[in-house]
Amino acid sequence: MAKKTLRAIIVDDEPLARARLRSLLDDLGGDPEVIVVAEASTGEAALAKAVGSPADVVLLDISMPGMSGLEAARHISAIPHAPAIIFVTAYDAHALHAFELRAVDYLVKPVRLARLKEALLRIQPLSMEIAAELAPKRSHFTVVEMGRVWQVPVDQVLFLRAELRYVTARTRDREYLLDDSLVKLEEELGEDFLRVHRNCLVARRHLIGFERVQSEGEPHWQAVLAEWPERLPVSRRQAHVVREFKGR
C-alpha cells in the first residue's frame, strides 16, 4: 500500500516553535510523508496561506497576536475543500472549542512524535490531480491588513504591479498588498491578465488599447485602461502584445 503524502501549513507566532514542528515532521521518516507548503506567524496570514496554497492540513497554534487560531480555523473551515485542522498549543483550555470546530486533533506542546504521527494518519490527502484543480483560478484575493481580512474580487482589479518585495493589486478605489509573486499570479491568472512589463500584469477585461508616445527621444507603447487616467508602460520585450491586440 502506497504511503500517503500530506501538504501542510505550519502556523505559530514563535519561529522556534515552527522550526520544532518542521523537525518533528522530518523525524516521521516519510510515514506519513509531509511536505510543508507554507508557514505563517499570525492567524490572518494563516488564512491567506490556506487560500493561496492548497494543503491537506494546517498545524495551527491557538494563542497568537491579533486573530487567534480558533478564529482563523473558523475562516479556514469555510474555504472550499478546506484543509484539516490540527491545533498545536501550549494550553489545553481550548480543547472543547477546538473539537467544536471539528479539528482532527488537539496537540499540547511539547508535541510528542507519536502523537503527531497519530493525528496526521487520520487525514486523507487530496490527490495531486484534485489539488491542481483546486489551485488554479481564484475569484477573490485574500488581503490581510492591520488585523482585518479583505476579500477583493479579481474582476475588480485593474492591474497587478510588483514593487520592491511586494505585489500590489489596484482597483478603482485603492491598492492592496498581496502575498504572492507576480510570476505565480501570471501562472494562475494568465487567461485574465496580460503581462505588459516585467513588473506589471494588466486585466484584459479593463484593457481598451495601446497608445504610442515619445519619451526621451525613444517612442514606446503604453496600455490604456477603461476610465483610468494612468497609462502603463509596455516594455520592449512585451511589445508583441500590442501587435497581437491589433490583430484581434
The tens digit of pLDDT for each residue in 140-156 reads: 887 877 767 788 889 99
Which of 100, 115, 133 delimits the end of a domain?
133
Question: What's the pLDDT band for 97 if we cut at 50, 70, 90?
Answer: low
- Looking at per-residue pLDDT, the higher value among 170 and 135 belongs to 170
pLDDT at 126: 59
Q: Tell whether 75 and 157 lie within a shared domain.
A: no
Total number of domains constituting the chain: 2
Helix (H, G, I), strand (E, B) or coil at 9: strand
194 beta partners: 202
pLDDT tens-digit map of 202-235: 999 999 999 998 877 778 899 999 999 999 999 9
**What average pLDDT does the chain have?**
85
Residue type, 49: K
**What's 79's domain CATH number?**
3.40.50.2300
Whether 101 and 192 share a structural domain: no
- The whole-number pLDDT of residue 131 equals 47
First-to-final CA distance of the chain: 53
Point out the domain boundary residue: 114, 133, 152: 133
Q: Which residues pair with 213 in a beta bridge?
A: 220
Tell me, yes or no, whether 9 and 126 share the same domain: yes
pLDDT at 135 over 60: no
Q: Are residues 38 and 95 located together in one domain of the fold? A: yes
Rounded Cα distance, 207 and 178, in Å: 21
Bridge partners, residue 195, by sequence? 201
User: What is the H or E stretch that residue 77 is in?
Assistant: helix 69-77
**Both 184 and 97 in a single domain?**
no
* Helix or strand (DSSP H, E) at 184: helix 182-189
* Model pLDDT for residues 180-199, shown as the tens digit of each residue: 789 888 988 888 999 999 99
What's the pLDDT tens digit per position in 3-36?
Answer: 678 999 999 999 999 999 999 999 998 889 999 9
**Strand-pair category, 5-11 with 33-40:** parallel
Q: Are both 89 and 116 inside the same structural domain?
A: yes
Name the β-bridge partners of 88. Answer: 107
Residue 77: pLDDT band (50, 70, 90) is: confident
What is the sign of the dihedral through the CA atoms of 133, 181, 82 and 124? positive
Residue 128 has pLDDT above 50, yes or no: no
The domain spanning residue 239 has which CATH number? 2.40.50.1020
> What are the φ and ψ backbone dihedral angles of 202, each rounded to 5 degrees?
-105, 135
Decide: 230 and 170 in contact? Cβ < 8 Å: no
Question: Which of 100, 133, 166 is the last residue in one of the domains?
Answer: 133
Residues 53, 112: one domain?
yes
Gap between the Cα atoms of 73 and 162, Å rounded: 30
Q: Are residues 158 and 126 in the same domain?
A: no
Model confidence at 101, pLDDT cuts 50, 70, 90, reads: low
Full domain range(s) for residue 119: 5-133
Shared-domain flag, residues 47 and 77: yes
Highest mean pLDDT among 73-82, 92-101, 227-236: 227-236
pLDDT at 14: 95
What is the three-class DSSP state of 72?
helix
The reply to whether 100 and 164 lie within a common domain is no
Q: Are residues 129 and 14 in the same domain?
A: yes
User: What is the per-residue pLDDT for 142?
Assistant: 79
CA 60 from chain center: how many Å? 16
Residues 12 and 111 in one domain: yes
Question: How much is the pTM?
Answer: 0.57
